[in-house]
Structure 1
């Protein structure tokens, strides 16, 4: 459940529009964790809040999260 796993998953998401759509539809950070696990990446939902803005940038079709969005990065 490492930050490195989360970063690896985000790198995969950047190049996969289908995966981006799945994450946009996620209702909670725990659902994001479940999606990631299904793609071979394991981390806990609390790791999402540890990412910098630069790391979050472009993850979801160019959507850029602000610090206020970190807890809801993949929700709505």
Structure 2
């Protein structure tokens, strides 16, 4: 179920420029989880790594997040 929550959140992000900006400012996977929770989606940072690159590109709408060695990137 949490993976479906993550996908639903990323679909919401695709159409919401305010959420995209918040995610771009995220400094860690935990920040992403907190932003998602604020928007009614429950998952943990481990779920971020469970999506394939293709899944991320198809739903995230060009969001790029970086934190040290961690990167969540999608094409614009």
Bin of the TM-score, shorter chain as denominator length: 0.7 to 0.9
How many pairs align? 68
The structure with the greater share of residues assigned to helix is 1
Unaligned runs of 5+ in 1: 66-70
Query: Which portions of structure 1, spanning 4 or more consecutive aligned residues, are displaced by more than 4 angstroms?
Result: none
2:37 aligned with 1:32, yes or no? no
More strand by share: 2
Task: Compare relative contact order (CA 8 Å, sep 6+) and give the higher one, 1 or 2.
Answer: 1
Structure 2: state its 5+ residue gaps.
none
- Cα deviations by residue, 1:20-51 (Å, 9 ceiling, x for unpaired): 01001000000000000000000010000000
8 Å CA contact 1:28, 1:72 repeated in 2: no
TM norm structure 2: 0.78
Write the mapping of 1:1-76 to structure 2, written as runs, cut at 5 A: 2-57=2-57, 59-60=60-61, 62=62, 71-73=70-72
Normalised TM-score (structure 1): 0.78
- What is the alpha-carbon root mean square deviation over aligned residues? 2.2
